[in-house]
Structure 1
Amino acid sequence: MKVLVIEDESRIAKRVERITRDILGGKLHSLAVINTLQEGLSFIENNTLDLVLLDLNLNGEDGFDLLARTVSGAFHTIVVSANTDQALRAFEYGVLDFVPKPFNKERLEQAFNRVISNDIEQLHAVKYLSVKKRHTIQLVPIEDVIYAKGAGAYSELFLKDGSKELHDKSLEKLEQLLAPHFVRIHKSYLLKMTEVKEVKVSSGSKYLAMLKSGESIPIGRTKYKEIKAKWV
Protein backbone atom coordinates (compact mmCIF):
# COMPACT_ATOMS: atom_id res chain seq x y z
CA MET A 1 0.00 0.00 0.00
CA LYS A 2 1.06 3.56 -0.72
CA VAL A 3 0.12 5.76 2.25
CA LEU A 4 0.18 9.51 2.89
CA VAL A 5 -0.13 11.03 6.37
CA ILE A 6 -1.14 14.70 6.56
CA GLU A 7 -0.65 15.87 10.15
CA ASP A 8 0.80 19.14 11.46
CA GLU A 9 1.72 17.98 14.99
CA SER A 10 5.12 16.31 14.75
CA ARG A 11 4.63 14.06 17.79
CA ILE A 12 1.31 12.71 16.49
CA ALA A 13 2.62 12.38 12.93
CA LYS A 14 5.52 10.22 14.17
CA ARG A 15 3.12 8.08 16.20
CA VAL A 16 0.77 7.58 13.25
CA GLU A 17 3.76 6.68 11.07
CA ARG A 18 5.10 4.18 13.61
CA ILE A 19 1.71 2.51 14.13
CA THR A 20 1.08 2.41 10.38
CA ARG A 21 4.38 0.64 9.78
CA ASP A 22 3.62 -1.82 12.60
CA ILE A 23 0.13 -2.61 11.28
CA LEU A 24 0.89 -2.89 7.59
CA GLY A 25 4.33 -4.49 7.80
CA GLY A 26 5.19 -6.06 4.45
CA LYS A 27 1.97 -4.71 2.90
CA LEU A 28 3.41 -1.19 3.05
CA HIS A 29 5.01 -0.04 -0.20
CA SER A 30 5.65 3.59 0.72
CA LEU A 31 4.73 6.10 3.42
CA ALA A 32 5.05 9.88 3.24
CA VAL A 33 4.36 12.37 6.03
CA ILE A 34 3.38 15.97 5.20
CA ASN A 35 2.36 18.77 7.58
CA THR A 36 0.58 21.38 5.44
CA LEU A 37 -2.57 21.43 3.35
CA GLN A 38 -0.91 22.80 0.20
CA GLU A 39 1.94 20.29 0.30
CA GLY A 40 -0.64 17.55 0.81
CA LEU A 41 -2.61 18.66 -2.23
CA SER A 42 0.53 18.82 -4.33
CA PHE A 43 1.64 15.35 -3.24
CA ILE A 44 -1.78 13.86 -4.00
CA GLU A 45 -1.83 15.44 -7.45
CA ASN A 46 1.59 14.03 -8.32
CA ASN A 47 1.56 10.57 -6.76
CA THR A 48 -0.49 7.39 -6.88
CA LEU A 49 -1.92 6.51 -3.46
CA ASP A 50 -4.01 3.83 -1.78
CA LEU A 51 -4.74 5.62 1.48
CA VAL A 52 -4.60 9.10 2.99
CA LEU A 53 -4.66 9.70 6.76
CA LEU A 54 -5.87 13.28 7.24
CA ASP A 55 -6.06 15.66 10.18
CA LEU A 56 -8.79 18.30 9.83
CA ASN A 57 -6.92 21.16 11.51
CA LEU A 58 -3.65 21.83 9.73
CA ASN A 59 -1.91 24.87 11.22
CA GLY A 60 -5.25 26.65 11.24
CA GLU A 61 -6.13 25.50 7.72
CA ASP A 62 -9.31 23.50 7.21
CA GLY A 63 -8.74 19.88 6.20
CA PHE A 64 -12.18 19.90 4.58
CA ASP A 65 -10.72 22.13 1.86
CA LEU A 66 -8.42 19.25 0.95
CA LEU A 67 -11.09 16.63 1.53
CA ALA A 68 -13.59 18.24 -0.83
CA ARG A 69 -10.95 18.41 -3.56
CA THR A 70 -9.43 14.97 -3.17
CA VAL A 71 -12.06 12.53 -1.82
CA SER A 72 -13.05 11.82 -5.43
CA GLY A 73 -9.62 10.21 -5.88
CA ALA A 74 -8.98 6.52 -6.38
CA PHE A 75 -7.66 6.17 -2.81
CA HIS A 76 -9.55 5.88 0.49
CA THR A 77 -9.35 8.55 3.18
CA ILE A 78 -9.31 8.03 6.94
CA VAL A 79 -9.68 11.17 9.05
CA VAL A 80 -7.66 11.27 12.29
CA SER A 81 -8.87 14.27 14.26
CA ALA A 82 -9.91 15.66 17.63
CA ASN A 83 -12.78 17.49 15.92
CA THR A 84 -15.31 14.75 16.63
CA ASP A 85 -18.18 17.18 16.00
CA GLN A 86 -17.11 17.05 12.33
CA ALA A 87 -17.29 13.26 12.03
CA LEU A 88 -20.74 13.14 10.44
CA ARG A 89 -19.78 15.79 7.90
CA ALA A 90 -16.61 13.86 7.04
CA PHE A 91 -18.58 10.67 6.46
CA GLU A 92 -21.03 12.58 4.27
CA TYR A 93 -18.08 13.56 2.09
CA GLY A 94 -17.13 9.92 1.63
CA VAL A 95 -14.28 9.15 4.04
CA LEU A 96 -13.95 5.48 4.95
CA ASP A 97 -13.46 6.03 8.69
CA PHE A 98 -13.05 8.74 11.34
CA VAL A 99 -10.54 8.00 14.11
CA PRO A 100 -10.93 10.43 17.02
CA LYS A 101 -7.92 11.77 18.90
CA PRO A 102 -6.59 10.64 21.29
CA PHE A 103 -6.41 7.22 19.66
CA ASN A 104 -4.71 3.91 20.38
CA LYS A 105 -3.17 1.35 18.06
CA GLU A 106 -6.24 -0.88 18.20
CA ARG A 107 -8.55 1.86 16.91
CA LEU A 108 -6.23 2.78 14.06
CA GLU A 109 -5.78 -0.91 13.23
CA GLN A 110 -9.57 -1.26 13.03
CA ALA A 111 -9.65 1.53 10.45
CA PHE A 112 -6.82 -0.06 8.44
CA ASN A 113 -8.60 -3.41 8.48
CA ARG A 114 -11.56 -1.86 6.70
CA VAL A 115 -9.22 -0.95 3.85
CA ILE A 116 -7.27 -4.20 3.79
CA SER A 117 -10.24 -6.56 4.07
CA ASN A 118 -12.51 -4.59 1.71
CA ASP A 119 -15.07 -4.43 4.51
CA ILE A 120 -18.36 -3.18 3.04
CA GLU A 121 -20.19 -2.57 6.31
CA GLN A 122 -20.96 1.14 6.12
CA LEU A 123 -22.43 2.56 9.34
CA HIS A 124 -22.59 6.19 8.23
CA ALA A 125 -24.50 7.49 5.25
CA VAL A 126 -22.44 9.05 2.49
CA LYS A 127 -24.38 12.03 1.13
CA TYR A 128 -22.10 13.07 -1.72
CA LEU A 129 -19.72 11.66 -4.28
CA SER A 130 -17.28 14.19 -5.64
CA VAL A 131 -16.30 14.09 -9.29
CA LYS A 132 -13.64 16.02 -11.17
CA LYS A 133 -15.18 18.20 -13.84
CA ARG A 134 -13.50 20.87 -15.94
CA HIS A 135 -10.66 21.31 -13.45
CA THR A 136 -13.15 21.73 -10.57
CA ILE A 137 -14.77 19.38 -8.07
CA GLN A 138 -18.53 18.81 -8.25
CA LEU A 139 -20.42 17.21 -5.37
CA VAL A 140 -23.05 14.78 -6.66
CA PRO A 141 -25.80 14.00 -4.11
CA ILE A 142 -26.14 10.26 -3.49
CA GLU A 143 -29.91 10.64 -3.84
CA ASP A 144 -29.35 11.54 -7.51
CA VAL A 145 -27.39 8.33 -8.26
CA ILE A 146 -29.34 5.34 -9.62
CA TYR A 147 -26.44 2.96 -10.17
CA ALA A 148 -22.72 2.78 -10.83
CA LYS A 149 -21.01 0.77 -13.56
CA GLY A 150 -17.42 -0.40 -13.34
CA ALA A 151 -15.06 1.05 -15.91
CA GLY A 152 -11.68 -0.49 -15.11
CA ALA A 153 -10.05 1.51 -12.33
CA TYR A 154 -12.94 4.00 -12.50
CA SER A 155 -16.73 3.96 -12.16
CA GLU A 156 -19.48 5.59 -14.17
CA LEU A 157 -22.27 7.14 -12.10
CA PHE A 158 -25.70 7.06 -13.76
CA LEU A 159 -27.95 9.84 -12.47
CA LYS A 160 -31.70 10.40 -12.31
CA ASP A 161 -31.58 13.22 -14.85
CA GLY A 162 -30.19 10.81 -17.46
CA SER A 163 -26.63 12.12 -17.28
CA LYS A 164 -23.56 10.21 -16.18
CA GLU A 165 -20.33 11.18 -14.49
CA LEU A 166 -16.94 9.46 -14.34
CA HIS A 167 -15.76 8.80 -10.79
CA ASP A 168 -12.12 8.05 -9.95
CA LYS A 169 -12.85 5.28 -7.45
CA SER A 170 -13.20 1.67 -8.56
CA LEU A 171 -16.50 -0.16 -8.10
CA GLU A 172 -14.96 -2.11 -5.21
CA LYS A 173 -14.09 1.08 -3.32
CA LEU A 174 -17.52 2.57 -4.03
CA GLU A 175 -19.13 -0.59 -2.69
CA GLN A 176 -17.30 -0.07 0.61
CA LEU A 177 -18.62 3.49 0.85
CA LEU A 178 -22.20 3.03 -0.34
CA ALA A 179 -23.33 -0.21 1.33
CA PRO A 180 -25.93 -1.18 2.43
CA HIS A 181 -28.17 1.09 0.33
CA PHE A 182 -26.34 0.14 -2.86
CA VAL A 183 -25.91 -3.56 -3.64
CA ARG A 184 -23.38 -5.26 -5.93
CA ILE A 185 -25.80 -7.08 -8.25
CA HIS A 186 -23.21 -7.96 -10.88
CA LYS A 187 -19.43 -7.82 -11.18
CA SER A 188 -19.86 -4.59 -13.16
CA TYR A 189 -22.85 -2.95 -11.43
CA LEU A 190 -23.64 -1.40 -8.06
CA LEU A 191 -27.35 -0.59 -7.76
CA LYS A 192 -29.54 1.44 -5.39
CA MET A 193 -32.23 -1.11 -4.55
CA THR A 194 -34.98 1.50 -4.08
CA GLU A 195 -34.72 2.20 -7.82
CA VAL A 196 -35.76 -1.37 -8.74
CA LYS A 197 -39.24 -1.78 -10.24
CA GLU A 198 -39.04 -5.50 -11.01
CA VAL A 199 -36.62 -8.41 -10.93
CA LYS A 200 -37.16 -10.92 -13.72
CA VAL A 201 -35.72 -13.73 -15.78
CA SER A 202 -35.61 -13.21 -19.56
CA SER A 203 -35.05 -15.70 -22.36
CA GLY A 204 -31.80 -17.61 -22.17
CA SER A 205 -31.94 -17.54 -18.34
CA LYS A 206 -30.70 -13.97 -18.20
CA TYR A 207 -31.48 -12.16 -14.96
CA LEU A 208 -32.44 -8.49 -15.10
CA ALA A 209 -33.23 -5.65 -12.71
CA MET A 210 -35.91 -3.47 -14.32
CA LEU A 211 -35.54 0.07 -13.01
CA LYS A 212 -38.08 2.81 -12.40
CA SER A 213 -36.19 4.89 -14.96
CA GLY A 214 -37.08 2.35 -17.67
CA GLU A 215 -33.57 0.95 -17.91
CA SER A 216 -32.65 -2.66 -17.30
CA ILE A 217 -29.30 -3.87 -16.02
CA PRO A 218 -27.99 -7.44 -15.65
CA ILE A 219 -27.94 -9.40 -12.43
CA GLY A 220 -25.13 -11.90 -11.94
CA ARG A 221 -26.30 -15.51 -11.99
CA THR A 222 -24.91 -16.16 -8.51
CA LYS A 223 -26.51 -12.96 -7.19
CA TYR A 224 -30.08 -13.50 -8.41
CA LYS A 225 -31.57 -15.18 -5.33
CA GLU A 226 -29.99 -12.64 -2.98
CA ILE A 227 -31.20 -9.68 -5.08
CA LYS A 228 -34.67 -11.15 -5.45
CA ALA A 229 -34.92 -11.52 -1.67
CA LYS A 230 -33.66 -7.97 -1.02
CA TRP A 231 -36.08 -6.47 -3.52
CA VAL A 232 -39.11 -8.30 -2.17
Structure 2
Amino acid sequence: MKVLIIEDEARIANRLERITRSYFEENLSAITICDSLQKGLSYIENNPIDLLLLDLNLNGENGFDVLESVVAGSFHTIIVSAYTEKAITAFSYGVLDFVPKPFDQERLETAFKRITTTTKSIEKNINFLAVKKAGTVRLIDISELHYIKGAGIYSELHLRNGRQELHDKSLEKLQQLLPDTFERIHKSYLISLVQAERILIQPGGRYGLLLKNGEVLPVGRSRYKDLKEKMI
Protein backbone atom coordinates (compact mmCIF):
# COMPACT_ATOMS: atom_id res chain seq x y z
CA MET A 1 0.00 0.00 0.00
CA LYS A 2 1.43 3.37 -1.11
CA VAL A 3 -0.24 6.33 0.56
CA LEU A 4 -0.11 10.06 -0.17
CA ILE A 5 -1.33 12.66 2.33
CA ILE A 6 -2.08 16.17 1.03
CA GLU A 7 -2.53 18.28 4.17
CA ASP A 8 -1.06 21.70 4.98
CA GLU A 9 -1.38 21.50 8.78
CA ALA A 10 1.67 19.59 10.04
CA ARG A 11 -0.03 18.43 13.25
CA ILE A 12 -2.94 16.87 11.36
CA ALA A 13 -0.68 15.44 8.64
CA ASN A 14 1.50 13.73 11.27
CA ARG A 15 -1.58 12.33 13.00
CA LEU A 16 -2.90 10.97 9.71
CA GLU A 17 0.47 9.37 9.07
CA ARG A 18 0.59 7.80 12.53
CA ILE A 19 -2.90 6.27 12.27
CA THR A 20 -2.26 5.10 8.71
CA ARG A 21 0.98 3.34 9.73
CA SER A 22 -0.74 1.74 12.70
CA TYR A 23 -3.64 0.43 10.60
CA PHE A 24 -1.82 -0.95 7.56
CA GLU A 25 1.38 -1.99 9.39
CA GLU A 26 3.44 -4.37 7.21
CA ASN A 27 1.08 -3.81 4.26
CA LEU A 28 2.28 -0.20 4.02
CA SER A 29 5.21 0.15 1.63
CA ALA A 30 5.42 3.96 1.44
CA ILE A 31 3.74 7.04 2.88
CA THR A 32 4.38 10.60 1.70
CA ILE A 33 3.14 13.97 2.98
CA CYS A 34 2.70 17.02 0.73
CA ASP A 35 1.74 20.36 2.29
CA SER A 36 0.32 21.98 -0.84
CA LEU A 37 -1.96 21.07 -3.70
CA GLN A 38 0.69 21.64 -6.34
CA LYS A 39 3.25 19.47 -4.57
CA GLY A 40 0.64 16.76 -4.23
CA LEU A 41 -0.37 16.87 -7.87
CA SER A 42 3.26 16.79 -8.96
CA TYR A 43 3.84 13.73 -6.78
CA ILE A 44 0.80 11.97 -8.25
CA GLU A 45 2.00 12.66 -11.78
CA ASN A 46 5.37 11.02 -11.08
CA ASN A 47 4.63 8.30 -8.56
CA PRO A 48 2.10 5.44 -8.34
CA ILE A 49 -0.11 5.47 -5.25
CA ASP A 50 -2.91 3.30 -3.90
CA LEU A 51 -4.58 5.76 -1.53
CA LEU A 52 -4.87 9.54 -1.30
CA LEU A 53 -5.89 11.36 1.88
CA LEU A 54 -6.91 14.84 0.75
CA ASP A 55 -7.86 18.01 2.60
CA LEU A 56 -10.18 20.38 0.70
CA ASN A 57 -8.68 23.63 1.98
CA LEU A 58 -4.92 23.95 1.57
CA ASN A 59 -3.73 27.48 2.33
CA GLY A 60 -6.79 28.82 0.54
CA GLU A 61 -6.51 26.40 -2.39
CA ASN A 62 -9.72 24.53 -3.16
CA GLY A 63 -9.35 20.76 -3.41
CA PHE A 64 -12.40 20.60 -5.67
CA ASP A 65 -10.45 22.51 -8.33
CA VAL A 66 -8.40 19.38 -8.95
CA LEU A 67 -10.64 16.64 -7.56
CA GLU A 68 -11.77 15.69 -11.07
CA SER A 69 -8.19 14.87 -12.02
CA VAL A 70 -7.54 13.10 -8.74
CA VAL A 71 -10.51 10.71 -8.87
CA ALA A 72 -9.64 9.73 -12.44
CA GLY A 73 -6.50 8.07 -11.10
CA SER A 74 -6.12 4.37 -10.41
CA PHE A 75 -6.28 4.84 -6.63
CA HIS A 76 -8.81 5.47 -3.90
CA THR A 77 -9.38 8.94 -2.43
CA ILE A 78 -10.53 9.68 1.11
CA ILE A 79 -11.41 13.31 1.89
CA VAL A 80 -10.43 14.54 5.37
CA SER A 81 -12.01 17.96 5.81
CA ALA A 82 -14.00 20.21 8.12
CA TYR A 83 -16.23 21.24 5.21
CA THR A 84 -18.91 18.63 5.89
CA GLU A 85 -21.40 20.46 3.67
CA LYS A 86 -19.18 19.37 0.74
CA ALA A 87 -19.56 15.66 1.51
CA ILE A 88 -22.38 14.94 -0.95
CA THR A 89 -20.49 16.70 -3.73
CA ALA A 90 -17.31 14.79 -2.87
CA PHE A 91 -19.10 11.43 -3.04
CA SER A 92 -20.52 12.36 -6.44
CA TYR A 93 -16.93 12.62 -7.69
CA GLY A 94 -16.31 9.03 -6.69
CA VAL A 95 -14.30 9.43 -3.48
CA LEU A 96 -14.30 6.38 -1.23
CA ASP A 97 -15.19 8.22 1.99
CA PHE A 98 -15.47 11.64 3.62
CA VAL A 99 -13.95 11.89 7.10
CA PRO A 100 -15.00 15.10 8.87
CA LYS A 101 -12.58 17.07 11.02
CA PRO A 102 -12.02 16.80 13.91
CA PHE A 103 -11.67 13.03 13.53
CA ASP A 104 -10.65 10.21 15.83
CA GLN A 105 -8.71 7.04 15.05
CA GLU A 106 -11.83 4.88 14.94
CA ARG A 107 -13.50 7.03 12.26
CA LEU A 108 -10.43 7.06 10.04
CA GLU A 109 -9.99 3.30 10.39
CA THR A 110 -13.63 2.84 9.36
CA ALA A 111 -12.74 4.62 6.12
CA PHE A 112 -9.69 2.39 5.68
CA LYS A 113 -11.85 -0.72 6.08
CA ARG A 114 -13.75 0.26 2.94
CA ILE A 115 -10.53 -0.25 0.98
CA THR A 116 -10.07 -3.82 2.17
CA THR A 117 -13.64 -5.05 1.67
CA THR A 118 -16.07 -5.16 -1.21
CA THR A 119 -19.04 -4.89 1.16
CA LYS A 120 -21.58 -2.49 -0.28
CA SER A 121 -22.42 0.67 1.66
CA ILE A 122 -25.82 2.33 1.63
CA GLU A 123 -24.03 5.65 2.04
CA LYS A 124 -22.60 5.66 -1.47
CA ASN A 125 -24.00 8.49 -3.52
CA ILE A 126 -21.65 8.49 -6.52
CA ASN A 127 -23.31 10.16 -9.51
CA PHE A 128 -20.60 9.95 -12.12
CA LEU A 129 -17.18 8.51 -12.97
CA ALA A 130 -14.25 10.60 -14.12
CA VAL A 131 -12.38 9.43 -17.23
CA LYS A 132 -8.99 10.96 -17.93
CA LYS A 133 -8.23 11.26 -21.63
CA ALA A 134 -5.70 13.33 -23.58
CA GLY A 135 -4.98 15.57 -20.61
CA THR A 136 -8.64 16.34 -19.95
CA VAL A 137 -11.24 14.82 -17.65
CA ARG A 138 -14.71 13.79 -18.77
CA LEU A 139 -17.40 13.11 -16.21
CA ILE A 140 -19.72 10.24 -17.14
CA ASP A 141 -23.08 10.02 -15.41
CA ILE A 142 -23.54 6.49 -14.08
CA SER A 143 -26.99 6.42 -15.64
CA GLU A 144 -25.17 6.34 -19.01
CA LEU A 145 -23.46 3.05 -18.10
CA HIS A 146 -24.70 -0.07 -19.82
CA TYR A 147 -22.11 -2.37 -18.28
CA ILE A 148 -18.44 -2.41 -17.28
CA LYS A 149 -15.91 -4.95 -18.52
CA GLY A 150 -12.65 -5.67 -16.73
CA ALA A 151 -9.48 -5.09 -18.71
CA GLY A 152 -6.62 -5.99 -16.38
CA ILE A 153 -5.87 -3.05 -14.10
CA TYR A 154 -8.29 -0.95 -16.16
CA SER A 155 -12.00 -1.15 -16.93
CA GLU A 156 -13.96 -0.61 -20.14
CA LEU A 157 -17.06 1.52 -19.64
CA HIS A 158 -19.70 0.47 -22.17
CA LEU A 159 -22.21 3.29 -22.51
CA ARG A 160 -25.85 3.19 -23.52
CA ASN A 161 -25.08 5.26 -26.64
CA GLY A 162 -22.74 2.52 -27.89
CA ARG A 163 -19.51 4.32 -27.03
CA GLN A 164 -16.71 2.89 -24.91
CA GLU A 165 -14.39 4.67 -22.50
CA LEU A 166 -11.35 3.31 -20.65
CA HIS A 167 -11.28 3.94 -16.91
CA ASP A 168 -8.08 3.84 -14.86
CA LYS A 169 -9.66 2.00 -11.94
CA SER A 170 -9.93 -1.79 -11.91
CA LEU A 171 -13.27 -3.58 -11.84
CA GLU A 172 -12.73 -4.38 -8.15
CA LYS A 173 -12.21 -0.73 -7.23
CA LEU A 174 -15.22 0.43 -9.24
CA GLN A 175 -17.37 -2.21 -7.56
CA GLN A 176 -16.47 -0.68 -4.19
CA LEU A 177 -17.57 2.77 -5.36
CA LEU A 178 -20.72 2.11 -7.35
CA PRO A 179 -24.23 1.85 -5.85
CA ASP A 180 -25.93 -1.44 -5.00
CA THR A 181 -27.79 -1.36 -8.32
CA PHE A 182 -24.52 -2.56 -9.90
CA GLU A 183 -23.93 -6.30 -9.69
CA ARG A 184 -20.82 -8.40 -10.40
CA ILE A 185 -22.19 -11.14 -12.68
CA HIS A 186 -18.84 -12.53 -13.80
CA LYS A 187 -15.18 -12.05 -12.91
CA SER A 188 -14.95 -9.72 -15.92
CA TYR A 189 -18.36 -8.01 -15.92
CA LEU A 190 -20.16 -5.50 -13.70
CA ILE A 191 -23.62 -4.31 -14.73
CA SER A 192 -26.49 -2.16 -13.58
CA LEU A 193 -29.40 -4.51 -12.90
CA VAL A 194 -31.78 -1.99 -14.47
CA GLN A 195 -30.20 -2.97 -17.80
CA ALA A 196 -30.92 -6.70 -17.29
CA GLU A 197 -33.77 -8.49 -19.05
CA ARG A 198 -33.46 -12.15 -18.02
CA ILE A 199 -31.03 -14.98 -17.33
CA LEU A 200 -30.40 -17.49 -20.11
CA ILE A 201 -29.46 -21.15 -19.61
CA GLN A 202 -27.08 -22.06 -22.41
CA PRO A 203 -25.67 -25.36 -23.72
CA GLY A 204 -22.91 -26.95 -21.71
CA GLY A 205 -24.23 -25.75 -18.37
CA ARG A 206 -23.30 -22.16 -19.08
CA TYR A 207 -25.35 -19.09 -18.15
CA GLY A 208 -25.84 -15.76 -19.84
CA LEU A 209 -27.60 -12.50 -19.04
CA LEU A 210 -29.76 -10.95 -21.73
CA LEU A 211 -29.66 -7.17 -21.59
CA LYS A 212 -32.46 -4.88 -22.71
CA ASN A 213 -30.48 -3.87 -25.80
CA GLY A 214 -30.20 -7.50 -26.93
CA GLU A 215 -26.61 -8.12 -25.86
CA VAL A 216 -25.79 -11.28 -23.92
CA LEU A 217 -23.09 -11.25 -21.24
CA PRO A 218 -21.63 -14.32 -19.53
CA VAL A 219 -22.70 -15.14 -15.97
CA GLY A 220 -20.24 -16.92 -13.70
CA ARG A 221 -21.48 -20.22 -12.28
CA SER A 222 -20.68 -19.10 -8.73
CA ARG A 223 -22.74 -15.93 -9.25
CA TYR A 224 -25.77 -17.49 -10.93
CA LYS A 225 -27.72 -18.25 -7.74
CA ASP A 226 -27.34 -14.76 -6.23
CA LEU A 227 -28.16 -13.08 -9.53
CA LYS A 228 -31.26 -15.24 -9.99
CA GLU A 229 -32.54 -14.27 -6.52
CA LYS A 230 -31.97 -10.56 -7.16
CA MET A 231 -33.86 -10.70 -10.46
CA ILE A 232 -36.96 -12.38 -9.09
TM-score bracket, shorter-length normalisation: over 0.9
> Cα distance, 1:118 vs. partner?
3.8
Counterpart in 1 of 2:206?
A: 206
Task: Render the CA deviation track for 1:70-111: whole Å, top value 9, x for unaligned.
Answer: 201110000000000000010010000100000000000111
- Match of 1:162, SS state, is coil
- Match of 2:95, SS state, is coil
* Matched-pair contact (CA < 8 Å) for 1:88–1:124: no
Counterpart in 1 of 2:101?
A: 101
* Matched-pair contact (CA < 8 Å) for 2:124–2:179: no
Count matched residues. 232
- 2:29 equivalent to 1:8: no
* Matched-pair contact (CA < 8 Å) for 2:199–2:207: yes
Paired with 2:231 and 2:45, the residues of 1 have a C-alpha distance of 41
Counterpart in 2 of 1:197?
A: 197
- 2:23 equivalent to 1:34: no
TM-score by length of 1: 0.97
Counterpart in 2 of 1:82?
A: 82
> Cα distance, 1:122 vs. partner?
4.8
Q: 1:219 is aligned with what amino acid?
A: V
- Match of 2:204, SS state, is coil
Paired with 1:3 and 1:42, the residues of 2 have a C-alpha distance of 15
Task: Render the CA deviation track for 1:89-144: whole Å, top value 9, x for unaligned.
Answer: 10010000100000000000111111123443352221010001221010010000
- 2:53 equivalent to 1:53: yes
Q: 1:7 is aligned with what amino acid?
A: E
Which range moves more in the overlay, 123-132 or 150-159? 123-132
- Match of 1:32, SS state, is strand
- Match of 1:117, SS state, is coil
Paired with 1:18 and 1:101, the residues of 2 have a C-alpha distance of 16
Paired with 1:48 and 1:204, the residues of 2 have a C-alpha distance of 43
Q: 1:32 is aligned with what amino acid?
A: T
What does 1:66-145 align with in structure 2 at a 5 Å threshold? 66-145=66-145
Q: 1:161 is aligned with what amino acid?
A: N
* Matched-pair contact (CA < 8 Å) for 1:122–1:177: no
Which range moves more in the overlay, 209-218 or 109-118? 109-118
Structure 1 residues 112 and 140, CA gap change in structure 2 (3 angstroms): same
Paired with 2:30 and 2:144, the residues of 1 have a C-alpha distance of 37
- Match of 2:132, SS state, is strand
Counterpart in 2 of 1:146?
A: 146
Paired with 1:44 and 1:118, the residues of 2 have a C-alpha distance of 25
- Match of 1:173, SS state, is helix
For the aligned residues, what is the CA RMSD? 1.0
- 2:214 equivalent to 1:177: no
- 2:181 equivalent to 1:186: no
Task: Render the CA deviation track for 1:47-77: whole Å, top value 9, x for unaligned.
Answer: 1111000001111111112211120111000
> Cα distance, 1:5 vs. partner?
0.3
Which stretches in structure 1 are left out of the alignment for 5+ residues?
Answer: none
Paired with 2:158 and 2:223, the residues of 1 have a C-alpha distance of 21
Paired with 2:216 and 2:133, the residues of 1 have a C-alpha distance of 27
Paired with 1:61 and 1:102, the residues of 2 have a C-alpha distance of 20
Counterpart in 1 of 2:22?
A: 22
* Matched-pair contact (CA < 8 Å) for 1:175–1:190: yes
